[in-house]
Amino acid sequence: MSLEQILAKHKIVPVVVIDDVADAVPLARALVSGGLPIAEVTFRTPAAKASIQAMKAAFPTMLVGAGTILTETMADEALDAGADFLVMPATDEALIRHALDRHAPVCPGVMTPSDVQTCDRLGLRLVKFFPAEPAGGLARIQAMSAPYPFMRFMPTGGIGLKNMNAYLRSGSVVCVGGSWMVKKEWIATGQFEKIEEKTREAVRALEE
Ligand code: 3PG
């Protein structure tokens, strides 16, 4: 199954920030139990690399991506840790080429037609629309899809229970990303039951 197919199956990608690697496995367990065996572990903390390793070791079939990949070094660290895919906030051609050279599934951030154009020319068909709500939300995705009807989007930023289904109804949207069920403070304070409950709530709220 391609990355796009797996993302389309789950429909939601939890975006997580882990400060302490000890939280990685309990967090993964909460997501798996809640019905979302998938995560984007952001490279915003020194614990990100070890957290990906720990999550993949404990739940080998869980899809664990690395997010906030800003440099080639971060991409290499994430892939060496076992990341299944890379997510970037921006369209950085050199960085994308580096990831493709390593045969990594990659989902760069786009916000403009120029970004989409660059990704198209690199052969990509799946991009992150970021930051989704501040940038114009679904209306902007629909407008950008007119010249690029083949491009598929993972909108992230400002998405939650209230608006996720509106995005997901669009044929251009594969899945949505968000942190609403995995708030950083819940992870840091060990509230994994709450994370499991919020994850289950999100899955239940998905339209067929
Ligand atoms: C991020 O990179 O932090 C994501 O865009 C998450 O956005 P959210 O916290 O608004 O869901």
- For residue 92, give the CATH number of its domain: 3.20.20.70
Expressed as residue numbers, the domain containing 62 is: 3-205
Q: Is 164 in the pocket of ligand 1 (CB under 6 A)?
A: no
Find out whether the beta carbon of 178 lies less than 6 Å from any atom of ligand 1: yes
Q: What is the CA radius of gyration of the chain?
A: 16
Query: For residue 1, what pLDDT band results from cuts at 50, 70 and 90?
Result: confident
Which of 77, 57, 32 is closest to 66 using CA atoms?
77
C-beta 129 within 6 A of ligand 1: no
Q: What is the arithmetic mean of pLDDT over 171-181?
A: 98
Residues annotated catalytic, as ranges: 40, 128
* Structure tokens, 140: 């902007």
Residue 208 predicted with pLDDT over 90: no
Residue 105 burial (CB count, 10 A): 20
Instruction: Tell how far CA 150 is from the center of its chain.
Output: 20
The model's confidence at residue 108, banded by pLDDT at 50, 70 and 90, is very high
Q: What's the 20 CA to ligand 1 centre distance in angstroms?
A: 19
Look up the ipTM and state it: 0.90
Q: Give the number of the atom of ligand 1 that is nearest the alpha carbon of residue 160.
A: 11
Cα distance between residue 161 and residue 185, in whole Å: 19
Which atom, in ligand 1's list, is nearest to the CA of 156?
5
Q: Measured from the CB, is residue 109 less than 6 Å from ligand 1?
A: no
Query: To the nearest whole number, what is the mean pLDDT of the chain?
Result: 97
- The average pLDDT across 125-134 equals 98
pTM above 0.90, yes or no: yes
Task: Quote the number of domains for the chain.
Answer: 1
Nearest CA to ligand 1 atom 1: 157
Best residue for ligand 1 mutational test, from 179, 181, 199 (most atoms within 8 Å of Cβ)? 179
Closest ligand 1 atom to residue 131 Cα is: 5
